[in-house]
Amino acid sequence: MIGTFKNLRVEQRGPVLAVELACPETGNTVTEALLDDLLGVLTVLPDLTEVRAVVLSGAGPDFCLGGDRREIATMLSQDATGAGVRVSSDKARRVCEALSTTGAVTIAQVRGQVIGAGLALVLHCDLRVGAENCRFRLPELALGMPLAWGGALPRLLNEVGAARARELILTCRAFGAVEAERLAVLHRVVPEAELDAAVEEWVRPIVRRSPAALRVTKSLLNSYAAATRLADPALLDAELMASVLASRG
């Protein structure tokens, strides 16, 4: 059974679970509370055997403006060793891992700004559609942080490729929806008014699939994508982020 969440709007429509980041007043920035809510939803998802697709979206004009820097600063002021950052980063890894490994097909439906942690959430979804007004950016290096959040780096390398990922990370430049589609950050770009219809085009055949076949197929896709890696580098994210941020003090 799905509970109620302060930072999310969750609605089950038969075999489809709609999950909306519901903090438009902050640009849906990723906070500890939001991560807890996302974990709450994704933890119960395996028990919702009738759910075939999960649609992740954001309320307001922007999908997500990234991590909450004020909250990170507070964590560091409370413990200069970065213990709070480690806990938060580990939650982020578990959220992103759940998005990519759950048996249901996860679909990102995005508009407006998609920055940092928001882009990590999008990348971990199986299918991604964006409005023509989308703008993406990975600003971590410019903010004095490594790209060590939620397993974003290995996912980006797998989805986009090493050469393009390197350029986006080192320059921290913004890029639009058309380039995002060319890079495979998005699978489709549509006018904003057609986002719901584009998602429905994917959902319609997916909900007719066998749940067992979906689970196995996703497991196969994830396994082959990771076949060239000797280990999961995302497990290091929490330590790397905490160490770099703590050293700035």
Q: What does each of the 249 residues of the chain score in pLDDT, given as a tens digit?
A: 577 899 999 999 999 999 999 999 999 999 999 999 999 999 888 888 889 999 999 999 999 999 888 887 787 778 777 777 788 889 999 999 999 999 999 999 999 999 999 999 999 999 999 999 999 999 999 999 889 889 999 999 999 999 999 999 999 999 999 999 999 999 999 999 999 999 999 999 999 998 888 888 988 888 887 755 545 656 555 555 556 656 655
**Is residue 223 packed enough to be buried (19+ CB in 10 Å), middle (13-18) or exposed (0-12)?**
exposed
Q: What digits encode the pLDDT tens for the residues 181-211? A: 999 999 999 999 999 999 999 999 999 998 8
pLDDT at 88 (0 to 100)? 84
- Could you state, in order of their start, the residue ranges of all structural domains in the chain? 8-248
Q: What digits encode the pLDDT tens for the residues 9-38? A: 999 999 999 999 999 999 999 999 999 999
The contacts of residue 72 (CB under 8 Å, 6+ apart) are 85, 88, 245
* DSSP-assigned states of every residue in 178-239: HHHHHHTS-SEEE-GGGHHHHHHHHHHHHTTS-HHHHHHHHHHHHHHHTTT-SS-GGGGHHH
pLDDT at 238 (0 to 100)? 57
Give Cα separations from 10 to 45, 95, 104, 111, 155 (angstroms).
Answer: 12, 16, 15, 18, 26
The beta-strand segments (E) located in 65-183 are 105-110, 113-115, 127-131, 135-137, 175-176
CATH of 8-248, one of 3.40.50.9100, 3.90.226.10, 3.40.50.80, 3.80.10.10: 3.90.226.10
pLDDT at 224 (0 to 100)? 82
